[in-house]
Amino acid sequence: MRLIRTADAALAAAVAADEVADVCRRAAAERGVAVIAVSGGETPWGMLERLRSLDLPWRHLYVAQVDERVASRGDPRRNLARLEQILVTQGPLPRDNLLAMPVEADDLDVAAAGYQQRLEALAGRPLVLDLVQLGLGADGHTASLVPGDPVLDVADRDVAISHQYQGLPRMTLTLPALDRARRRLWLVTGAAKAARAAELLAGRAATDAPALRVTRNEAALIADEAALALATADPPRE
């Protein structure tokens, strides 16, 4: 895992955008298309605001969701509205290139399988995303892979439905999908994440933190000084 330290959250978001842009340019040049998946949260929104200002092959870039809450389209807990606003309404991404998770479907398992097939049509079967951008929860979760949820042990699907977490079930990419991606980019900021960031860097934790189950190969952690306050050393390169 590669560590990139920044002074604050705003700079972390900007550096992350540049990293994502580099991956997208390379993927589009090599394969004609770039397919990435992004998480929600305030710092990723800053990353995406920076990303939309960059010179990218937008017609050949597809943005999927790492996870999404199962709620109606207008529910403020959903990530989709903000993604659409930043990248499509106020940005250069073609509307059809934003791949929204179908969390309003009546049969969520069927919808998850359909979303996987939609991603596979762009990124191959088995699914190999060019990059997944991940966050880190204070409980050690990433995507919607939370401690104790059976979705952590799903090995035969790349998209699945979690149990309720903070009041809602989620649709999420599974560990196999995260591990198979060409690149993993962790974006972690703020003092509240310091303990978990230190565990992520060390590759071990006192509890079964789901984030530690994601492969460390071809991974980078972009974090601000507040998030790295408890880190004792840079991680070994893997």
Domains of the chain (ranges plus CATH)?
Answer: 2-224 (3.40.50.1360)
Work out the pLDDT band at 147, boundaries 50, 70, 90: very high
Cα 140 to Cα 23, 188, 207, 208, 227: the distances in Å are 26, 12, 9, 8, 14
Sheet holding 170-173, edge to edge: 67-69, 170-173, 159-161
Q: How do strand 170-173 and strand 159-161 relate by DSSP bridges?
A: antiparallel
- Share the mean pLDDT of the chain: 94
CA distances from 88 to 1, 73, 94, 213 (A): 32, 16, 6, 33
Maximum Cα–Cα distance for the chain, whole Å? Answer: 48
Burial (CB count <10 Å: 0-12, 13-18, 19+), residue 153: exposed
Neighbour count for residue 128 (Cβ, 10 Å): 15
Q: Calculate mean pLDDT across residues 118-138.
A: 97
The predicted pLDDT at position 238 comes to 43
Q: Across residues 122-138, what is the average pLDDT?
A: 96
Residue 148 is which amino acid? G
Share of the chain above pLDDT 90, in %: 87
Residues linked to residue 34 through DSSP beta bridges, in sequence order = 61
Q: What pLDDT score does 232 carry?
A: 78
Structure confidence at residue 211 (pLDDT) = 95
pLDDT at 237 over 50: no
- What pLDDT was estimated at residue 235? 54
At residue 76, the pLDDT reads: 86
Taking alpha carbons only, the member of 100, 78, 82, 79 closest to residue 91 is 82
Going by pLDDT thresholds of 50, 70 and 90, the confidence category of residue 166 is: confident
pLDDT per residue over 52-102, tens digit each?
A: 999 999 999 999 999 999 999 888 889 999 999 999 999 999 999 999 999
Among candidates 133, 104, 98, which has minimal Cα distance to 118?
98
CA 123 – CA 36 distance, rounded (Å): 9
| CB-based contacts of 110, cutoff 8 Å, min separation 6 | none
Cβ-based neighbours of 187, under 8 Å, separated by 6 or more: 12, 13, 16, 39, 43, 44, 47, 133, 134, 135, 222, 223
Q: Which residue has the tokens 């937008």?
A: 58
Checking if the pLDDT of 236 tops 60, the result is no
Structure tokens at 5: 């330290």
